[in-house]
Copies of this chain bind each other. A is one copy, B any other.
């Protein structure tokens, strides 16, 4: 344990190189799709070993701002991350006024639902524990922003609750599924989000077109109606390089 007096804190050389390259990306000097300096260029510029040059590039690859292409080098993979506001975006004012929740995420950037599959299914065990039912209606979507798939989402509803309503159809109407749950007398009043991170399953990596080594963030959100009944469980799988999740709360 070291403590107390000032300690100069100099990061290792590969970190400082990564910092400079990152700065070049953030400042716009290097842009999306540009090739980063290769290992040989870094070795001669900084007088470092190949392993050190590789480490510097690995930092940026790990952070998701660069991507290696086999036999060709490392390229900028710039993508302004989507800032997803946990509490603010779900505020009653948001969906209560007929707006889509997603709108608040992309700050004007166009997004598309490019896959939509709606089905009635037997409930999976983990979902059944939360929703307390045997059958569910599931809305599976893939969302893309700027032409890039960023999120897979699967909203589950107790089948008996939403049978025959617009929740089971492609167009759920103004305010979306939460406004429809409100129409049914089951307006969500409370949300719980559980957040994990892990490596993607192969089909998740394929559907999100993830470069190797990119983790996903998994968010399971449960919506509760007054009285405490869970009325929706939404499993979301997000490209970790595309998202910053923000949560605000008071002390």
Query: Which residues on B sit within 8 Å (CB–CB) of A117?
Result: 1-3, 7
Query: Which residues on B sit within 8 Å (CB–CB) of A244?
Result: 194-196
Main secondary structure of the interface of A (DSSP, over half): mixed
| Minimum CB–CB distance for A138 against chain B, Å | 8
Assembly CA distance A48 to B219 (angstroms): 32
Instruction: Identify which of A31-39, A71-79, A102-110, A210-218 touches chain B.
Output: A210-218
Query: Which residues on B sit within 8 Å (CB–CB) of A59?
Result: 201
Query: Which residues on B sit within 8 Å (CB–CB) of A245?
Result: 194-196
Given contacts A3-B170, A117-B2, A199-B62, contact A249 B86 (CB under 8 A): yes
Assembly CA distance A202 to B14 (angstroms): 11
A180 at the interface (CB under 8 A from B): no
A149 at the interface (CB under 8 A from B): no
A241 at the interface (CB under 8 A from B): yes
A240 at the interface (CB under 8 A from B): yes
- The answer on a CB contact under 8 Å between B198 and A241 is yes
- The answer on a CB contact under 8 Å between B249 and A190 is yes
- A interface with B by C-beta (< 8 Å): 1-9, 12, 15, 55, 58-59, 61-64, 81, 86-87, 90-92, 95, 115-121, 138, 168-170, 178, 187-203, 213, 215-217, 223, 240-241, 243-251
The 4 closest A-B pairs by CB, nearest first: A197-B197, A215-B215, A62-B199, A87-B249
